[in-house]
Chains A and B, each alone.
Chain A
């Protein structure tokens, strides 16, 4: 890595012409053993305006610039040969100057902490002019609390021309921090600074206020700063809540996705499908296989995986229904056992085919990254996509059951099988389709899960109990109940996690549901009336 940076640096070095003189002067000063000379050198290089100034300063900061004792040239280490080092002159584009020397022949250009600080701010002020707002942001962050009058002026000018809002507000913070702590600021500007900092959610702003409170003797300013701190803390707390809610919703969405297929097979058909988790697993493996088939187009592979996983799991589900479950209608406990057997077979089959090791599925670029709402709250994109995906699947399913012919037939069979048959509904066909639908959605859930965790044979097992809990908690046969239950369990889990730990939070949720079912055996939204009996 370092070598690569060096090479690019060396290649660029040939471009050093216009400001070569000043840059050269600065470099010359670096050769001194006196720290004050080196500091001057740094200032000279920074002020040179040379394109490579930043690179040189970075090398210096990382301690990669050496002085060749004999030739008094500045060199960098290019590689190692036995116990000797290969060194190259700083401005050698061709590599002609490469030579092998012993360690003792060169001396590192030493820097101390003071120099390190000035290097950092020098680099930062250079970065301020970068075209990339992310780099500028980093630079300003670097500078906060370390502004000298020159930099202050630079920032002030920059603030006028800055186009990016985030950078601009951070510059405000940086300036305000300086105003606050500066000896020659008057009280009015300090008050202004405090007010400005109180508005900001930047961690640096809070730190500066805190420090000010600890150090200042001025009671009224201290009071104001304290008030500002409280308001910041208040808003940070809310941001924290929002983040917990977001994490909770995304976990809840996963639960809903995993459970909603079950809500159909268990809720609508009354079939306990213990192999549901394995149908999710099949979906995840389908994603993995599709990705293997089209390794160059990850984004497309995810989109292709969704229908593919639906089909694979739906077909597997229909085979389970036709092969086993239909012989066991009306005997839920037996169905539970038989489908559990199927889940074992599916697990072992996957283990035999794909190996027992976990596989990882790549995340497409459009799903990675974060959306930064403010400095203390940022949402990861993949979680956001999962939430959206869950809602879309839910909406589609809901509409399917409500408005299509199949949906009407499914509900008819669920409510009164004999009557539905009398009305000409092919109940066997409806059973198979309903089960296929529920299974297919499990497969789709598998696609979503493959974006969050590794894909392995035990993937399904991890979700089956949770899924049942969600369905039972929400009330069997009620899609809305499943949605509400899944999301609220997810949020509850995340709320408890900070003080209870992930495992204990999960245990607490389980215990809560166990107790809840005792109290309301039919869940949050029970089906009422005569038809619900028995």
Chain B
């Protein structure tokens, strides 16, 4: 009997036969994300080493750290791409991220923006936003999907927000680098996630584009909780109040930008003294 139960549990294909409800997100304690004692290693190399991180609801948290500190791996763990060797990851009080697949995590309300902008280049800007729209994403619902007026409004609204209204029928592949970054942020907005993971959004951007991106991100915070991985210190300073420094897969320091910058360990890691 147990065996059957386990089989049914692992079986993921028939999920589209069931109503697609995500377990209730419970943030009654004020914290949205709990990462506890997480470790993961590749070929003996410890990418994440006993990491502990707590994110409050509505917070905009910046994660900084030198290359190889485990920032991207941490995001992989939160979004289900990588499974940790040990530790636990909870979204709110009730959702265990380690038991869920990538699409389930996305449906539960965690959105991710990749370091390299990845939009669907062979589809229009509009279709890109349509695809990331929140809602049921089962096979048959998708097959029969029609737009409601409010959904069209939402897409229009987001198009305005990211400034791509003119380009709505353009193929995403034809956009400039900065526009792609914005489109990707727009896709996150369509997803309407509780938690946003943003990986180096301003890499390779001009200053103007950077400012625009900063505005976008700031407007997101509050309504959404944002975790931002970034190298550009000025950009981080302009945005966040809480900063976490990762080093060799664990938290080195946490605090405001000023606190962190005066932390001796951080200085040592960054300047190698």
Contact = CB atoms under 8 A, between A and B. Distances in A.
The reply to whether A and B meet directly (CB within 8 Å) is yes
B6 interface: no
A528 B45 CA distance: 11
A529 interface: yes
A103 interface: no
B42 interface: yes
B43 interface: yes
Contacts, number: 6
Interface in A120-172: none
Interface in A476-534: 528-530
Contacts of A528: 42-43
A530 B45 CA distance: 11
Measured as residues with beta carbon below 8 angstroms from the partner, the interface class of chain A is under 10
Interface in B19-67: 42-43, 45
Interface in B159-207: none
Contacts of A530: 42
Contacts of B43: 528-529
Nearest to A528: B43
Interface residues of B, number: 3
Contacts of A529: 42-43, 45
Contacts of B42: 528-530
A248 to B, nearest CB: 32
A532 to B, nearest CB: 9
A530 B73 CA distance: 10
Interface in A12-38: none
A470 to B, nearest CB: 24
Contacts of B45: 529
A530 B43 CA distance: 10
Nearest to B72: A530
B47 to A, nearest CB: 9
A530 B72 CA distance: 12
A528 B43 CA distance: 7
A107 to B, nearest CB: 83
A529 B47 CA distance: 10
Interface string A48-84: 0000000000000000000000000000000000000
A149 B45 CA distance: 81
Nearest to B73: A530
Nearest to B47: A530
A333 to B, nearest CB: 16
B157 to A, nearest CB: 35
Interface string B75-109: 00000000000000000000000000000000000
A528 B42 CA distance: 7
A259 B210 CA distance: 52
A487 to B, nearest CB: 26
A266 B4 CA distance: 40
B200 to A, nearest CB: 17
B249 to A, nearest CB: 14
A530 B40 CA distance: 13
Interface in A430-446: none
A154 to B, nearest CB: 72
Nearest to A530: B42
A530 B67 CA distance: 14
A336 B130 CA distance: 34
A529 B42 CA distance: 5
A529 B43 CA distance: 6
Interface string B201-234: 0000000000000000000000000000000000
B199 to A, nearest CB: 15
A529 B68 CA distance: 13
A528 B44 CA distance: 10
B13 to A, nearest CB: 13
A525 to B, nearest CB: 13
A521 to B, nearest CB: 15
Interface of B: 42-43, 45
The 6 closest A-B pairs by CB, nearest first: A528-B43, A529-B42, A529-B43, A528-B42, A530-B42, A529-B45
Interface of A: 528-530
6 contacts: A528-B42, A528-B43, A529-B42, A529-B43, A529-B45, A530-B42
